[in-house]
Each structure stands twice: as C-alpha cells, then as structure tokens.
Amino acid sequence: MFVSFEGLDGSGKSTQAELLRARLEAEGRQVVSTREPGGTELGERIRDLVLHGGHVGPWAEALLYAASRAQHVEEVIRPALARGASVICDRYVDSSVAYQGVGRGLGLERVLDLNLTAVGGLLPDRTFLLLIEPSQVSQRLPGDHDRLESESDDFHSRAADGYRELASRFSDRIVVLEGTRPAEELAEEVYGALR
C-alpha cells in the first residue's frame, strides 16, 4: 500500500502521516515513512538547494523537485513496496502539480507529464488532501519560513486551486479532508478510508 498526504504548509499533513505510521506499526505492519523533497541523500541535498538557496527559476524548481522524486522512487519507494512494506509519503507528485504546475503557472498537464515520466507512472493507491484556507498558511507556521513558505498568499491560493483541480480529476485516488478538524478525528477518518 502506497499512501501520500498533501496540502498547503500548516495543513497538518505531517501530523496525519505520523499518526497513520504509528497506527499501522502498532498493527505489526512494516511501514516506510518518508517525505518530499528529500527521503534520500541526494533528495535532502536538493531540498536544501530548493528551499534554502537563492533564486530558483520556475522550471528549475519543477525539475529539481522531479529529480528528488525520481531518486526517491528508485531508491526508497519501489524497493519498499517490492518487499511488501507500506509506504507513507509526506508530499508526492500532486505537490509539484499544485505548486509548480498551477502555483507557478507552468501548466498542470506539463508538470504532471514531467512527474509521471520521473516516477515511471507510479502513483499512490490513496492520497489524503488536507484543506485549509490559503490565508492560514503563514498563521499556522511557527518560526522561520523557507523560500516556498515565504511566497505570497496569491501563490498559495493558486496552489490550493491546483489541489482542488487534482481532487476532481483523480477523485478515485484523492480523499479530501477538512484540515481544521481535530487531528484525532481526522486520523480516524484516514484509517477508516484505508480499511
């Protein structure tokens, strides 16, 4: 089983990924919990370049995220699925489609195609999309903001539009949840949807 969590920064997706990991492990399942950008040594270096470096142009950004993802799939995700582990990924292809495809205006189709090529067509079995208002992004994040988190409300609004478009296009795969609901309640719903 391959599950991903998606949403704007501060939507609570990382908390839900962690709650699901704990629950599946408590059932005795083997779980690989990972994140993007990152998840491999190369990916963590790309993460640093893209989030904490200087200016990165829109296509360079899309290609760096896709490169990190390609490595992640080859090195971590496919091998884990092949040995029968469950994979929980905090962000995946949908993040690039929402943020780079729609947020940066590169085009939903073009960024989706790029990413499907990068991952050899591997999509999650289920994706949980946690919705929050774009204006909540800066309020819900503590401390220093990275390059993407520091973007305007407009950028986050466009990314949210991208997510909504993906949810209607991939309605069999993507489960939409209200990110402002209590974490424990959301965790129950996530678990229920997987059973």
How many residues line the site for ligand TYD (CB under 6 A)? 14
Phi, psi of 180 (to 5 degrees): -85, -5
Amino acid found at 154: D
Is residue 6 near ligand TYD by the rule CB under 6 A? no
Q: Report d(CA 177, CA 175) in Å as an integer.
A: 7
**Could you tell me the end-to-end alpha-carbon distance of the chain, in angstroms, rounded to an integer?**
11
Beta carbon of residue 162, minimum distance to ligand TYD (angstroms, whole number): 10
Interface residue with ligand TYD, options 2, 5, 65, 155 (CB under 6 A): 65
Burial 95-128 (b: 16+ CB within 10 A, else e): bbbbbbbbbbebebeebbebbeebbeeeebebbb
Which of 55, 58, 54 is CA-nearest to residue 104? Answer: 58
Q: What single letter denotes the amino acid at residue 130?
A: L
Query: In the complex with ligand TYD, which residue's Cβ is closer, 43 or 187?
Result: 43
Show contacts with ligand TYD in window 9-48 (CB under 6 A).
Answer: 9, 35-37
Report the nearest approach of ligand TYD to the CB of residue 51 (Å): 6
Find the binder of ligand TYD among 146, 161, 165, 189 (CB under 6 A).
146
Residue number, 143 or 192, with CB nearest to ligand TYD: 143
| Binder among 149, 161, 165, 189 for ligand TYD (CB under 6 A) | 149
> Please, which residue, 24 or 97, has the CB nearer to ligand TYD?
97
From the CB of 27, what's the least distance to ligand TYD, in Å?
Answer: 26
